[in-house]
Structure 1
Amino acid sequence: MAPEGNKTEVMISCQPYVSCVLLRIFPYLIGVVIICGNLLIIMSVIYFKQLHTPTNYLILSLAVSDLLIGLLIIPLNAEFNMDYCRTHGGLVCIAQQCIRVTLTTASILNLMCISIDRYYAVCKPLVYKTTITLNVVVFMILLSWSSSFLLSIGFVVAEINYAKCGEKCYIDVFIANVSGPNFTFFLPTIIMLCIYAKIFFVAQKQARSIQNRTYPNRTVRKTEGKATKTLVIIMGAFLICCSPLFIFLMILFINKVSVSVEVIDFLSWLIMSNSLLNPFIYAFFYSWYRSAFKIVISGKMSLGHFSHIRLE
């Protein structure tokens, strides 16, 4: 009977070990997928001349921020989670928080810039090329990244001061817990919702105008359905991934209640998962990106003479 008892003990003790290993590996698997997906976008935009457009440069900036999230934030978050930083602190945790705020804010602001670009492309097509120029796009990208960095520095300094003096530092508490979510999430989200709502109504109006001229009802319904589906996917994925944490933090600050760090960690991982979805939403949706990815993955890019190829 002894050997059977020992065997049972071994089987029971192995199960938690396997679970721990899977939980340990899972974040790195997500990071690898994020890196690979966004690296495909970066290589495609840089290599193929057809993709050298203002819109694709904005998508490139978004891919860089998402790539860095997979490359830096996910490994740091796996090694130094919120519970570790709360109990140990240190320079690594401060740097991690600064990098996380910078990259997540840059990703959100890049999404907002893309929505502005799409607004001019759909709603003001006659002035699009003269308004959204290369210089304007470069300015938008630099503004997004510099604003993200400055905001992250301000939030980290505010939280450090708050840790030292507690509730006496009301201004620091306000900056870290109220102004932070407003500037990094709520304000860009409201702007994007307004822009995409305008795009949707303009696209519907254009589709009906075309219907009155040449297209049958089925074609117009298909066009409107495709526009609706695209906007729902873009904003739906963003809101599902990002809104829970920011809304949760605001509720915690207003009600002054405590919550387990596991909940905050989970909601933080949910935000980072948006970097996994962005390549599929903003790149896989377009056929020319799919063609570019096939060339990159097949290794034909190394043969040369593909940079000027017509992507369809």
Structure 2
Amino acid sequence: MNWCREPHVGYCFPNNNASCYKLIYETDVYVCLYIFCILLIFVTIFGNLLVIISISHFVQLHTPTNFLLLSLAVADFLVGLFVLPFTLTLQIETCWYFGVIYCYVFVALGNLLSVAIIAHVVLISIDRYIAVCNPFFYSSKITLNVTKLSIVVMWLYSLVFTFLFLYFSYIETGVCEQSCILYGYEYSGFVVLMFTFIIPYSLMISAKTLGLVVAAFMVCWLPVILFDLCSAVTSLSLRETRNALILVSEVNFGVNPIIYAFFYPWFRKLLLIMLFMVR
């Protein structure tokens, strides 16, 4: 396979010069990228669905931490179902082929679920910090009801933040034929940076007792965030690098079930139980 050949620039619709520009790769590169994307979507949807079923069905797993993991799995599952297929296709094709209406739905859902996942990871890191550093307070004060209330507040916060962000932004679908681009107004980039990077990552790092879920989140998302911070250029030559980093970041949506399978005994046992029940 000729991996070293540079992609060339074409049109999203080859017979229409008014359509958007796209990066065109070799056929074997497309095949490998789409195989990777299909596997990632499969693991994200079915892996997180197993987590949801496991924690919901077995009363023994109804603990504050597991409820947070359950809510995080719901967010990851929704991403895998409604956002990830379109995001991955957009990163590979560098074109939007899904129409104007779903462009708005896609942007709204993508931002809502991204904020919700960040909020969940922050709360999980705080939960682990309290459990390790102040176990007596944790066992007496962090109850299931408190956790459920925290989860509701997290989702409401994500909804309000996304609504305000989109209210002060606008979606452009007519720069070229079938484009889908989100633009923020003045200072919106700084606000997003503050609430989705600086504050969350500061809380995660100062929790010190980083769990595997939090650590995996940071490893997957830090490269693309740092790339965006260091580069204000959006040329096609840099778009290829950024697209690759985005693919790395989106591995995070499917990596949590794998972490559970390898490092959480309860999840392995439940997989075996469900496997025998199916048989």
> TM-score of the superposition, structure 2-length normalised?
0.76
Residue 259 of structure 1 corresponds to 235
Q: 2:270 aligns with which of 281, 292, 297?
A: 292
Correspondence 1:34-113 to 2 at 5 A: 34-81=44-91, 83-85=94-96, 90-113=100-123
Q: CA RMSD in A?
A: 3.0
| Counterparts of 1:278 and 1:89, CA distance in 2 | 31
**Shift of the alpha carbon at 1:189?**
1.3
> In the alignment, is residue 187 of structure 1 matched against residue 199 of structure 2?
yes
On the 8 A contact 1:58/1:137 being kept in 2, the answer is yes
Residue deviations 1:223-281 (CA, integer Å, cap 9, x gap): xxxxxxxx4744542222111222222333xxx43333333333322222112222233
What displacement does 1:160 show? 1.0
Structure 2 CA distance for aligned equivalents of residues 154 and 245 of structure 1: 24
Where do residues 164-175 of structure 1 align in structure 2 (5 Å cutoff)? 172-175=185-188
Secondary structure of the equivalent of 1:160? strand
Q: Find the aligned partners of 2:130 and 2:106 in 1 and give their Cα distance.
A: 36
Post-superposition Cα deviations, 1:284-307, rounded to whole Å, max 9, x if no partner, equal 42212211121123326x9xxxxx
1:178 aligns with 2:190: yes
Number of residue pairs matched by the alignment: 244
Change (3 A) 1:268 1:91: farther
Which has a greater percent of helix? Answer: 1
Distance 1:105 1:19 in 2: 32
Matches for 1:20-39 after TM superposition, within 5 Å: 20-39=30-49
Q: How does 1:221-232 map to 2 (within 5 A)?
A: 231=210
Gaps of 5+ in 1: 1-14, 165-169, 200-230, 303-312
What is the CA distance between 1:148 and its match in structure 2? 1.9
Q: Tell me how far apart the structure 1 counterparts of residues 146 and 81 of structure 2 sit (CA, whole Å).
A: 28
The correspondence of residues 140-289 of structure 1 with structure 2, limited to 5 A, is 140-160=150-170, 172-175=185-188, 177-195=189-207, 197=208, 199=209, 231=210, 233-252=212-231, 256-260=232-236, 261-282=239-260, 284-289=262-267
Q: Is this contact kept in 2: 1:161–1:172, CA < 8 A?
A: no
Tell me if the contact between 1:193 and 1:235 (Cα under 8 Å) persists in the aligned partners.
no
Q: Distance in 1 between matches of 2:227 and 2:64?
A: 36
Name the residue aligned to 1:310. none
What is the CA–CA distance in structure 2 between the aligned matches of 1:264 and 1:67, rounded to whole Å?
A: 24
1:163-219 deviation line (CA, Å, top 9, x unaligned): 99xxxxx982311x2211221232111101111x2x4xxxxxxxxxxxxxxxxxxxx
User: 1:23: Cα distance to partner?
Assistant: 2.7
Q: Give the deviation of 1:38 after TM superposition.
A: 1.1
- The residue aligned with 1:12 is none
- SS of residue in 2 equivalent to 1:173: coil
CA offset digits 1:24-58 (Å, max 9, x no partner)? 34312210011121111111101111101111111
Report if aligned partners of 1:106, 1:148 keep a CA contact under 8 Å in 2.
yes
Mapped partners of 2:61, 2:273: distance in 1: 14
Q: Which moved more, 1:243-252 or 1:38-47?
A: 243-252
Identity of aligned pairs, percent?
34
Corresponding residue for 1:120? Answer: 130
Distance 1:235 1:42, change over 3 A: closer
Q: Which region of structure 1 is more displaced relative to structure 2, 134-143 or 146-155?
A: 146-155
SS in structure 2 opposite 1:258? coil
Deviation at 1:162, TM superposition (A): 9.2
2: CA distance between counterparts of 1:49 and 1:154?
38
1:213 aligned residue: none
